[in-house]
């Protein structure tokens, strides 16, 4: 590193330190009000404001303390507004508590258990009732199509499906047949 580069870097660091020393507390108080008391956000915005001033030497050319502060306040206010808009455009953050209670996205345990329970409950049904449910719910047949496939009247298909579903409700664990459905 050359002497000139080192001298320029030292001067820039002193300029930044002077800016922070002269305007840091005032900016922090101003930004605390704009961020509704969020100290960490206000401190970040103070740093960003001072960096912007440091990167724009034309703003620093004025050595008048009174004329630089309004410029800094304007920059700080705009940064605070931009930060708030950016925060509002993102979805709300959730804490780890919400994630601990949510099931894993690829966890199919409940589906597997429900399928096993359903399979076991279907085995306990009368064969005629089971055949109707297979036609209606597993093959997607209409009442008429199920009646034709099973060789029974449509009314019989309706009756058997009613009693078969009622029997399944009674046999499936965790389902209260007397509870009202939403």
Does residue 6 have a pLDDT over 50?
Answer: no
Asked if residue 86 and residue 39 are part of one domain, the reply reads: yes
Would residue 71 count as lying in a domain? Answer: yes
Full domain range(s) for residue 61: 3-91
For 138-149, b where at least 16 C-beta lie within 10 A, e where not — what string?
A: eeebebeebbee
- Highest-scoring range by mean pLDDT, 2-16, 18-32, 146-160: 146-160
Residue % of the chain over a pLDDT of 70: 77
Identify the CATH number of the domain in which residue 164 sits. 1.10.10.10
Asked if residue 146 and residue 78 are part of one domain, the reply reads: no
Identify the CATH number of the domain in which residue 53 sits. 1.10.1740
pTM: 0.44
User: What length does the chain have?
Assistant: 182
Average pLDDT, the chain: 81
Would residue 98 count as lying in a domain? Answer: no
pLDDT value, residue 182: 38
């Amino acid at each position: 590193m050359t002497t000139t580069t080192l001298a320029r870097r030292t001067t820039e660091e002193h300029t930044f330190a002077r800016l922070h020393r002269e305007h840091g507390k005032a900016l922090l108080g101003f930004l605390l009000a704009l961020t509704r008391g969020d100290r960490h956000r206000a401190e970040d915005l103070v740093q960003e404001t001072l960096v912007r001033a440091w990167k724009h030497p034309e703003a620093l050319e004025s050595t008048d303390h009174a004329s630089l502060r309004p410029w800094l306040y304007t920059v700080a206010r705009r940064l605070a507004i931009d930060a708030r808009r950016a925060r509002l455009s993102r979805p709300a953050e959730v804490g780890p508590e919400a994630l601990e209670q949510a099931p894993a996205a690829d966890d199919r345990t409940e589906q597997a258990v429900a399928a096993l329970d359903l399979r076991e409950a279907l085995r306990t049904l009368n064969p005629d009732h089971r055949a109707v449910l297979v036609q209606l719910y597993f093959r997607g047949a209409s009442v008429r199509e199920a009646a034709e496939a099973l060789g029974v009247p449509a009314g019989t298909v309706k009756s058997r499906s009613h009693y078969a579903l009622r029997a399944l409700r009674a046999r499936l664990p965790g389902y209260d047949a007397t509870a009202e459905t939403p």
